[in-house]
Amino acid sequence: MNRRPPKNGENKIKKTNTLLIDGNALFKFSYLGAKNEYNTNGEHIGGLYSFLVIMRKLLNEDLYHKVFVFWDGKLSGKLRYEIYKPYKSSRGKDYENGTHPIDLAELEQRKKIWDYLNALNVRQLTDEIVESDDFIGYYCLNKKENETITIASTDRDFLQLISNDIKIYFLDLRQYVEISNYSSYFCYIQENAMLLKTILGDNSDTIKGIKGLREKTLLKLIPELNERKLTIDEVIELANARQNQRLSEKKKPLKVLNNIINKVTDGVQKENIYEINERLVNLKKPMITEKAMDELNELINGNFDYTDFSLKTILGLMKRDGLDKAMGASRYDDFLIPFKKLANRDCNMN
């Protein structure tokens, strides 16, 4: 008996396109970008409104099968704090006493976003001490072979995760950055993204780098960072070679080169700066507890019950919060269509 030939698409592995959203980054970007957005009751709704609008924009720009939103918990970063006490000290977090100052208006809008995403059947997760960056790093490390990923954030830490199947949508740039266009935005090759963070530190997280060294200076002194993948030992060797060349040419030695070679920093890391900084910034070795890992794996592999996706309920929430007025009648009616389509696709993947 003759068997019919397979149709196009049969016997092929089903492709999955996933969107990973850094919830805190998107909310902060939304909150500050729409700080003048109020509802008719005089309540600020900029963070809530802009969060959903930007998320809808992302859903319209690509066909995603699953979307995950990851949030920082109250004491997220504690695992890094235990290694490096100044971690995020500029943000007012008190890991010892379990406190973190937060604007009440921001907190209220974040709670509402959580409720909206639950109603929209968007997968989301938070943990008391694990950072959203580590959830995203863990997800990328354990991605399926047939899966492509887009990360939405403002955080440059995610540059180290870019690969042929992983790209980043930078909210502040309003641009997708991937392997093919990386050199248009950064003056070093993608393989050295984590290495630069290790050497330079991160001011936003209060991670000290090499004393007196800035990115522009480092790239000028070590141009090989834009040519090939380097290790920290190779950077030190190159710094040594540059210093010796200056001395042979009767030039004054550069203090910053000596600082690279001798691991000089203003931070408490002292001579262990490279080892400590790499542990702090390396998202390919995410800091995640067993409990958080189990919850994430359950979220990834679990199924949602889409029978409770009620447009009427969600529209009721939007009316309650004044989002219908903010969006305008022309957009309000079809605003939720991309979310409904996402829910259907996610359901059909299982």
If asked whether residues 145 and 250 sit together in one domain, one would say no
- Point out the least confidently predicted range of 125-129, 186-190, 250-254, 328-332: 328-332
CA-wise closest residue to 164 among 180, 185, 153, 183: 180
If asked whether residues 145 and 209 sit together in one domain, one would say no
Residue 99 pLDDT greater than 90, yes or no: no
If asked whether residues 172 and 293 sit together in one domain, one would say yes
- 219 within some domain: yes
Residues of the domain holding 199: 193-281
| Contact (Cβ atoms closer than 8 angstroms) between residue 273 and residue 267 | yes
If asked whether residues 268 and 308 sit together in one domain, one would say no
Domains in the chain: how many in total?
Answer: 2
If asked whether residues 122 and 221 sit together in one domain, one would say no
CATH number where 339 lies: 3.40.50.1010
Choosing from 259, 281, 303, the residue where a domain stops is 281
Work out the average pLDDT over 146-167: 98
If asked whether residues 178 and 254 sit together in one domain, one would say no
- Of the pLDDT bands very low, low, confident and very high (cuts 50, 70, 90), residue 226 is very high
If asked whether residues 104 and 211 sit together in one domain, one would say no
- Point out the least confidently predicted range of 78-82, 224-228, 305-309: 305-309
* pTM for the predicted model, two decimal places: 0.92
- 6 within some domain: no
Choosing from 230, 262, 281, the residue where a domain stops is 281
- 10 within some domain: no
If asked whether residues 178 and 223 sit together in one domain, one would say no
